[in-house]
Amino acid sequence: MINKKDAKTLVKKIKGHENIIIVKHQLPDWDAQGSAMGLAHIIKENFENKNIFVVGDRLNDDKDFLPKKKLTNDFIKSALVITVDTGNKARLDFDKYDLAGDTFKIDHHIDVDKYANNQIVMESAIACTEVVTLWAEMMKLEIPAAGAHNLYLGLLTDSGRFLFPKTNPVTFRVAARLLEQGADLKKAHDYIFVNDLKNRKWSNFAFSKMTLSKHGVASIVIKKEDYAGWDLDYNEVKGALATMSGMHEIVIWFTVIEMENGQIKVSLRSRDYDVNSVATKYNGGGHRVASGASLNSFDEISSLTKDLDKLVKNGKEGK
């Protein structure tokens, strides 16, 4: 549950600032963007005379709350910066965060980095959009349809279509509320889950590269040359991850993706095992069964696989 005092603090801080900047994590997913846009729409609807901007990369061509020009340092110094869906400061998609007049973190990742002045962190929430919605409900704020649509997209994707283990009665209550507020179920589902043929072809190609350890740890390693010429963005390349889910034989699965800039990003998933405990060893973290990490070189893949094998050997409850 959200602590009412923290919920009120956020309202007070919004009231006290004319300028509001909403920050997501780098390489945003729909929970990050949905939380940011949803929150922006809620603030616009319920509080008068606010300049609200959502900064950083976007997943689509939604122009709402986009700064028309570069935000000045003076603007940032006078602003309340609200971060969404970002567990650690290093992952924020805003290089001037430290200039902010005031800061507030809204999140659902494991709370390892209390980087903001105040926060609402609900680790039990399946999506950050769930936290934003519950906050708005608790504070009796209106959720306009455009906000509900964005919030629903985050709920839908971070819960893996309501299949992931952390999906619970609250998730469905929040989904119901968002549909009542004007989120369009079919539109959202078609928008997220109907892909181009090239995405399915990519998934098939990527899955053909899957290797499986004898303990049921599957991985797909994707280098730059693998996706060269495919015309895919990072999230589409990462579509390879989902091809390994939903099979008895695979109990932990991960992708290793070489980014255009040479960074090596890992995404880890499991139905039952605490992959977060391994992710933290490799400059990462996130959730118990869904975490990210990064490697210094491809040589680290074998030790990563060994660590995950060990997790399986130790059993579901861990040792």
Residue nearest to Mn ion (CB): 31
Nearer to Mn ion among residue 42 and residue 128 (C-beta) = 128
Residue 132 or residue 250: which is nearer to Mn ion going by CB? 132
Q: Is 31 in the site for Mn ion (CB under 5 A)?
A: yes
Stretch that binds Mn ion, among 73-81, 85-93, 131-139, 218-226 (CB under 5 A): 85-93
Quick one: which segment of 89-97, 150-158, 212-220, 223-231 binds Mn ion (CB under 5 A)?
150-158
Nearer Cβ to Mn ion (17/287): 287
Number of residues that bind Mn ion (CB under 5 A): 4
DSSP state letters, 182-229 = T--HHHHHHHHH---HHHHHHHHHHHTT-EE-TTSEEEEEE-HHHHTT
In whole angstroms, the minimum distance from the beta carbon of 31 to Mn ion comes to 3
Taking the complex as a whole, how short is the minimal distance between the CB of residue 267 and Mn ion, in angstroms? 13
Minimum CB separation of residue 238 from Mn ion in Å reads 14
Q: How far is the CB of 158 from Mn ion (least distance, A)?
A: 5
When the beta carbons of 106 and 141 are compared against Mn ion, the nearer one is 106
Q: Closest distance between Mn ion and the C-beta of residue 211, in Å?
A: 28
Asked whether position 93 contacts Mn ion by CB under 5 A, the answer is: no
Among 25, 30, 55, 85, binds Mn ion (CB under 5 A): 85
Listing DSSP states for 12-46 in one string gives HHHHT-SEEEEE-BSS--HHHHHHHHHHHHHHHHH
Of 59-67, 77-85, 139-147, 251-259: span binding Mn ion (CB under 5 A): 77-85
Q: Which is nearer to Mn ion, 81 or 131 (CB)?
A: 131
Cα–Cα distance, 198 to 64 (Å, whole number): 29
**Does 130 help bind Mn ion (rule: CB under 5 A)?**
no
Q: Is residue 158 a contact point for Mn ion (CB under 5 A)?
A: yes
Residue bearing tokens 């730059």: 224
Q: Which is nearer to Mn ion, 85 or 300 (CB)?
A: 85
Minimum CB separation from Mn ion for residue 198, in Å?
Answer: 26
Q: Residue 108 in contact with residue 130, Cβ under 8 Å?
A: yes
Of 49-57, 67-75, 82-90, 267-275, which segment contacts Mn ion by CB under 5 A? 82-90
| CB of residue 108 to Mn ion, shortest distance in Å | 6
For the bound state, the minimum distance from the C-beta of residue 129 to Mn ion, rounded and expressed in Å, comes to 8
Nearest approach in angstroms of CB 128 to Mn ion is 5
Residue 218, strand partner residues: 212, 253
| Distance, CA of 3 to CA of 7 (rounded, Å) | 6
Helix (H) or strand (E) holding 6: helix 4-15
**Is residue 107 near Mn ion by the rule CB under 5 A?**
no
Amino acid in position 63? K
User: Environment class of residue 207 by beta-carbon count within 10 Å: exposed (0-12), middle (13-18) or buried (19+)?
Assistant: middle
Indicate the DSSP class of residue 267.
Answer: E
Other beta carbons within 10 angstroms of residue 260's beta carbon come to 9
* 102-107 and 118-121 strand pairing: parallel
E strand or H helix that includes residue 52:
strand 51-54
d(CA 275, CA 270): 7
Residue given tokens 């090596």 in the structure block: 264
Torsion angle defined by CA atoms of residues 105, 110, 115 and 117, in that order, rounded to the nearest 10 degrees:
50
Instruction: Enumerate residues 110-129 that contact Mn ion by CB under 5 A.
Output: 128
Return residues touching Mn ion (CB under 5 A): 31, 85, 128, 158
